[in-house]
């Protein structure tokens, strides 16, 4: 059985070092518990990052839809003014 202090698999070595361990089996359990805690923290951080990215994507989608709406309105105005200019040009050409 490996000593927890030299265990490379243990990501939270301080947890393993700080606890007083009586038996060899208890060392493994404590080391695994530390690894589990580290995984839970990493998972929680990853979930928070994913939630933040999801929120940002949703905000960007809203902004994109607004910009698309504004672009469509601008294109309609442009087409209207181009037709008006054509009508005005043909009237003055006559």
pLDDT tens string 34-61:
999 999 999 999 999 999 999 999 999 9
CB atoms within 10 A of CB 27: 20
Closest CA to 7 of 46, 34, 37: 34
Residue that has been written with the tokens 């960007």 in this structure: 60
Q: At 11, list the tokens.
A: 């990501």
Instruction: Give the range of the structural domain holding residue 13, as residue numbers without chain letter.
Output: 4-93
What percent of the chain is modeled with pLDDT above 70?
Answer: 73
Tally of domains in the chain: 1
pLDDT of residue 20: 47
């Amino acid at each position: 059985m490996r000593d927890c202090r030299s265990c490379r698999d243990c990501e939270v070595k301080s947890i393993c070092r700080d606890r007083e361990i009586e038996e060899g089996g208890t060392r493994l359990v404590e080391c695994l518990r530390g690894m589990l805690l580290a995984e839970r923290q990493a998972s929680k951080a990853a979930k928070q990052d994913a939630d933040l990215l999801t929120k940002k994507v949703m905000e960007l989608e809203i902004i994109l839809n607004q910009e698309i709406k504004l672009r469509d309105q601008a294109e309609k105005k442009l087409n209207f003014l181009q037709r008006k200019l054509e009508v005005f040009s043909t009237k003055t050409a006559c």
